[in-house]
Amino acid sequence: MGGREFLRSELVAVAAAVVPDQEPVVTHDPGPVNPGVLFDGRGAATVCRVSVETGNPKDPDPAAAVSAAADVLRARGWNAEVAAPENGHYRVVASRDGYEVAVHAWASDWRITFTGETPLVS
């Protein structure tokens, strides 16, 4: 399994575990991108960025969602840390083998966003 597929499957699995009665939706997966090309013309190094959304519109609880996401990520081998809430924004940051993941939830929205980036590949 390639890095992009691994990241996508991890995000979908974590989202499904956090909100088991909803189907996670991949909202962003454009394929490999070169993060430096627009700034300095660097060539072949690429990353993949993937975003998945889910949530429970009937019972949104952003604090519980990010706490559950951190627990699920840790159980799957990620190093996850819950950040202090900031103006109704709740989040978790996680890393594993060069992969980076962030989980965002807001007091004003029932959706939970899971975003990730693969390690840089040359």
Percent composition of the chain: helix, strand, coil (DSSP 3-state, to 5): 30, 40, 35
- How far is Cα 11 from Cα 51, in angstroms, rounded to an integer? 8
- The residue segments making up the domain with residue 85 are 3-117
Closest CA to 121 of 49, 50, 44, 51: 44
Is residue 46 assigned to a domain? yes
Is residue 89 assigned to a domain? yes
Is residue 122 assigned to a domain? no
Per-residue model confidence as pLDDT tens digits over 17-49: 999 989 999 999 987 776 665 555 555 557 888
Is residue 13 assigned to a domain? yes
Is residue 64 assigned to a domain? yes
Per-residue model confidence as pLDDT tens digits over 75-106: 999 999 999 999 999 999 999 999 999 999 99
Number of domains in the chain: 1
Is residue 59 assigned to a domain? yes
